[in-house]
Amino acid sequence: MIVQTLLTLMAVVVLALVVQRNLFSVVVLAGIYSFLMATVLVALDAVDVAMTEASVGAGISTVLLLGALYLCGGEEAKPLTRPWLPLVVTLVIVGALVYGTLGLPAFSDPQAPIHTHVVPRYLSGALAETGVPNVVTAVLASYRGYDTLGETVVVFTAGIGVIALLRRARRAKGEGA
């Protein structure tokens, strides 16, 4: 019940985000959306993900967006001029996805395929094989360690990408950027 209520709140926030034109309000609404998502994730028992979403999604993303807004300076997005084609495309995609969700297993079904393949092996073996009770950390750092190596390299690449884009080269005074 709490999940459905929070999801309805998120839908309202997102609809407000679509129509808002003031960029500062849009950034604040995106932060509210991230915090509501973190709460929904706690209600769905995904505590590690909730902590990451709250700190990364609502914390760092908001800081970065405000920094970019300060540098870009635009306060208002321009009003819409006839976005009929995007609206039609979006509605078609919504129809297709809703049709697809009818084939998904019922919410919280223990016999769904997601619960019956490799996950019982992780849940039963994590504490005995790695000595770490938090199964998410065990899977992230040990069973799927290569993926986490790739992710660390992606974060590193983003860091040096931003350095490469925003570094001002040392040059004599008076030349352009």
Partner 1 sequence: MKREPVLRVVGKLLIPYMLMFALYVQFHGDFGPGGGFQAGVVTAAAVIFYALIFGLPAARRVVPEALVETLVALGALVYMSVGFAGLLLGGNYLDYFVLAHDTVHGQERGIFWVEIGVLITVSGVMLKIFYMFAGRRREG
Partner 2 sequence: MAQLAGHYTYWVTVLLMAAGLYILIARGNLVKKLIGLSVFQTSVYLLYIAPGKLIGGTAPIVDAAFQVYSNPLPHVLILTAIVVGVATLALGLALVVRIREAYGSIEEDEVLAADRDGGAAG
Q: 82 to 121, contacts with partner 2 by CB under 8 A?
A: 83, 86-87, 89-91, 93-94, 97-98, 101-102, 104-108, 110, 112, 114-115, 118-119
C-alpha–C-alpha distance, residues 86 and 48, integer Å: 36
Is residue 160 a contact residue for partner 1 (CB under 8 A)?
yes
**Angle, helices 2-19/23-43, rounded to nearest 10 degrees:** 170
Would you give the binding string for partner 1 spanning residues 109-138, x where CB under 8 A is met? -------------------xxxxxxx-xxx
Q: Which of 8, 22, 94, 156 binds partner 1 (CB under 8 A)?
A: 156
Give me the torsion for CA of 148, 153, 159, 161, rounded to 10°: -140
Q: Is 48 in the site for partner 1 (CB under 8 A)?
A: yes
Contact 54, 35 (CB under 8 A): yes
Which residues have CB under 8 Å from 132's CB, separation 6+?
A: 126, 138, 141, 142
Q: Which does 122 bind (CB under 5 to 8 A by kind): partner 2, partner 1, none?
A: partner 2
Tell me if 4 contacts partner 2 by CB under 8 A. yes
Q: Per CB under 8 A, does 80 bind partner 2?
A: yes
Cβ nearer to partner 1, comparing 109 with 151 = 151
Nearest to 23 by CA among 53, 59, 66: 66
Q: Are 122 and 129 in contact (CB under 8 A)?
A: no
* Binding-residue total with partner 1 (CB under 8 A): 46
Whole-number Å distance between alpha carbons of 53 and 141 = 19
Spatial CA neighbour of 38 closest among 24, 20, 51: 51
Residue 160 site contact among partner 2, partner 1, none (CB < 5 to 8 Å, cut-off depends on kind): partner 1
Q: Which residues bind partner 1 (CB under 8 A)?
A: 47-48, 50-52, 55-56, 59-60, 63-64, 67-68, 70-71, 73, 128-134, 136-138, 140-142, 145-146, 148-149, 152-153, 155-156, 158-160, 162-163, 166-168, 177
